Amino acid sequence: MITLHEEITVARSAKDCFRYVADFDRVYEWDATARDARKLSEGPIGLGTRFEVTCAVGPTTISIEYEIVDYQPWHSIELRGECKLFTVTDTIVFSDRDEKTHISYTAVFDYRWGLGRLEKYFLKGMQQMGRESLAGLQRALEDRALPPATLASSLSADAWVAPGVAMFTRWGYRRGRAFWTPTSRFLDQQHIVITGANSGLGLATALELARAGAELTLVIRNPENEGSLRSLLQQVTEEDKVTIEIADLSLMGEVHLLTERLLARGKKIDVLINNAGALFNSYAETDEGFERSFALLLLSPFLLTRNLHPLLAGHQQSARVINVVSGGMYTEKLVCKRLIMKPDRYNGPRAYARAKRGLTVMTELWAAQWAQDNIVVNAMHPGWADTPGVASALPTFKKITQRVLRNPAEGADTIIWLARAREADQVTGKLFLDREPRTPYLLKKTKESPAERSQLSVFLKHQLDTLEFATGAKEDAA
Ligand SMILES: NC(=O)c1ccc[n+]([C@@H]2O[C@H](COP(=O)([O-])OP(=O)(O)OC[C@H]3O[C@@H](n4cnc5c(N)ncnc54)[C@H](OP(=O)(O)O)[C@@H]3O)[C@@H](O)[C@H]2O)c1
């Protein structure tokens, strides 16, 4: 039997420290040997929650199955782990000390197959691992990550285009993860609005931000999805801090009414995530007469974000706007008059790419315009992720790329990180992939002219001016 014991003190509340450690599927962020982890059981974390943790052992890995066997919120937690080689009991005790938290961590390993006789040979290595793990936990809880920056290898991958595009796959996510720092900030006082929250990336984002304690306003189109969305959220958090808003975001009248409701509620917004979207292979117009890709993917987030500006602006802590765009936009250049495609020349992926390019440029414009209001605005693209949207709009693409697609949580990771990480508000007006600012132009020929750029918001406002609700509100336009 080997007993390891380490102690650290961190300037965080016991509640934060406890919650971060209890979230054992994030153990790979700080433990010296853990490479991956996942929650096996359903429901919020508590007594009986099970996890699988993959740990490095020399040149190979082993899988350890853990269960929480004692759970005393904010005070102590005990986990029992089992694998082929040993059983381990981790006891972690949290105590308040002068506005800091003292963490005492004890791990008792009991070896199988007579391996106990060899303990003396690996005792030193185990002790070293224990020290490194607790140092990792201390760093994670101190949460002092540097502002996001682009890796030199990403710059050269993007310069060669094809290697940059290869990073859209799950391998890109894996590669990125090797460089990430832990995210231990909780979102208890944060109000986050997410559009398209019932499916794919929006759902993965909502679940993760609910787990982090955020108060959520989730915008969905179909009221029939409300029940299933609420029960999925109940599986990750016991707290009920969710408001559901129903709106068809391809209709500006509905976007307008939604923003009126949110403004009347008056609750400040800390993070707005413009995620709702779809790729339409065939041409159709909305009841308001707009081509639907343009309406849903560009005009709608433009109106929503602009109208919600009063709830985002002027807070002590910066508000964040996160626009979900797409790697597809790398193929298109912003030309305002081409944003609305005509029926006879319609091409779904192109209309989609143009609208996402427009939203990327709008991100940069808002970032500059709203910096004085303490609003940071960034765009992200998720790479290629296996979601219901991809399955229905791009079935052949899905079939071909199935083995390299990210899962929804991997695709949503950068949205979650931009919303949650303390350091993510240190940059504004950037396009992110896998937590790194990346170039908005893979091809030089897709760089828009300064005239098109400065024309974009005028062009979008002009489209809105044709609508009834806009009359009288024109002078408020940002
Ligand atoms: N998955 C990828 O590989 C990928 C790549 C690049 C960019 N993206 C972008 O990521 C975002 C999320 O897409 P996803 O892949 O997660 O697709 P998804 O599973 O289809 O989710 C899209 C969400 O948008 C909602 N939505 C669509 N039209 C709407 C409307 N008119 N009004 C209100 N909500 C509407 C959908 O609601 P319903 O369920 O009611 O339809 C759904 O909640 C989109 O902006 C997409 O363009 C995804």
Q: Whose CA is nearest to atom 37 of ligand 1?
A: 196
Contact by Cβ (8 Å): 112, 85: yes
Residue to mutate, 194, 218, 326, ligand 1, most ligand atoms under 8 Å from C-beta: 326
164 CB near ligand 1 (under 6 Å): no
Angle subtended at Cα 122 by Cα 117 and Cα 125, rounded to the nearest 5 degrees: 160
323 CB near ligand 1 (under 6 Å): no
Q: Whose CA is nearest to atom 36 of ligand 1?
A: 196
From CA 214, how far away is CA 317, in angstroms rounded?
Answer: 15
Catalytic residues: 352
201 CB near ligand 1 (under 6 Å): yes
From CA 408, how far away is CA 199, in angstroms rounded?
Answer: 9
Question: CA–CA distance from 48 to each of 23, 43, 105, 317, 465 (Å)?
Answer: 13, 10, 20, 37, 57
Note the pLDDT of residue 17.
98
From CA 449, how far away is CA 455, in angstroms rounded?
Answer: 10
Distance 215 CA to ligand 1 centre (A): 21
Closest CA to 330 of 180, 164, 126: 164
Query: Around 346, how many Cα atoms within 13 Å sit in the side-chain half-sphere?
Result: 16
Contact by Cβ (8 Å): 246, 227: no
275 CB near ligand 1 (under 6 Å): yes
137 CB near ligand 1 (under 6 Å): no
What are the two backbone dihedrals, phi and then psi, of residue 191, each rounded to the nearest 5 degrees? -105, 120
Note the pLDDT of residue 119.
78
Question: CA–CA distance from 102 to each of 8, 138, 190 (Å)?
Answer: 6, 11, 26
Domains of the chain: 2-142 (3.30.530.20), 152-476 (3.40.50.720)
Contact by Cβ (8 Å): 141, 374: no
Distance 297 CA to ligand 1 centre (A): 10
Note the pLDDT of residue 269.
98
Note the pLDDT of residue 122.
81
Question: CA–CA distance from 380 to each of 363, 367, 417 (Å)?
Answer: 10, 14, 11
Give the pTM.
0.96
Q: Whose CA is nearest to atom 45 of ligand 1?
A: 277
From CA 213, how far away is CA 211, in angstroms rounded?
Answer: 5
19 CB near ligand 1 (under 6 Å): no
381 CB near ligand 1 (under 6 Å): yes
From CA 29, how far away is CA 137, in angstroms rounded?
Answer: 8
Note the pLDDT of residue 118.
78
Question: CA–CA distance from 17 to each of 7, 104, 183 (Å)?
Answer: 13, 12, 12
Note the pLDDT of residue 98.
87
Note the pLDDT of residue 386.
97
First and final C-alpha spacing in the chain = 67
From CA 52, how far away is CA 49, in angstroms rounded?
Answer: 11
Give the nearest ligand 1 atom to 250 CA: 31
Q: Whose CA is nearest to atom 27 of ligand 1?
A: 277
Q: What is the CA radius of gyration of the chain?
A: 24
Contact by Cβ (8 Å): 339, 283: no
pLDDT tens series, the chain, 478 aa = 899 999 999 999 999 999 999 999 999 999 999 999 999 999 999 999 999 999 998 899 999 999 999 999 999 999 999 999 899 999 999 999 989 999 999 999 998 887 777 778 888 989 999 999 999 999 999 999 999 999 999 999 999 999 999 999 999 999 999 999 999 999 999 999 999 999 999 999 999 999 999 999 999 999 999 999 999 999 998 888 999 999 999 999 999 999 999 999 999 999 999 999 999 999 999 999 999 999 999 999 999 999 999 999 989 999 999 999 999 999 999 999 999 999 999 999 999 999 999 999 999 999 999 999 999 999 999 999 999 999 999 999 999 999 999 999 999 999 999 999 999 999 999 999 999 999 999 999 999 999 999 999 999 999 999 897 775 454 454 4
Contact by Cβ (8 Å): 11, 99: yes
State the SS3 of the chain.
CEEEEEEEEECCCHHHHHHHHHCHHHHHHCCCCEEEEEECCCCCCCCCCEEEEEEEECCEEEEEEEEEEEEECCCEEEEEEECCCEEEEEEEEEEEECCEEEEEEEEEEEECCCHHHHHHHHHHHHHHHHHHHHHHHHHHHHCCCCCCCCCHHHHHHHHCCHHHHHCCCHHHHHHHHCCCCCCCCCCCCCEEEEECCCCHHHHHHHHHHHHCCCEEEEEECCHHHHHHHHHHHHCCCCCCCEEEEECCCCCHHHHHHHHHHHHHHCCCCCEEEECCCCCCCCCCECCCCCEHHHHHHHHHHHHHHHHCHHHHCCCCCCEEEEEECCHHHHHCCCCHHHCCCCHHHCCHHHHHHHHHHHHHHHHHHHHHHHHHHCEEEEEECCCCECCHHHHHHCHHHHHHHHHHCECHHHHHHHHHHHHHCHHHHHCCCCEEECCEEECCCCCHHHCCCHHHHHHHHHHHHHHHHCCHHHCCCHHHCC
Contact by Cβ (8 Å): 400, 118: no
Contact by Cβ (8 Å): 332, 446: yes
Residue to mutate, 275, 381, 392, ligand 1, most ligand atoms under 8 Å from C-beta: 275
From CA 32, how far away is CA 23, in angstroms rounded?
Answer: 16
Distance 348 CA to ligand 1 centre (A): 15
221 CB near ligand 1 (under 6 Å): yes
Closest CA to 364 of 331, 407, 334: 334
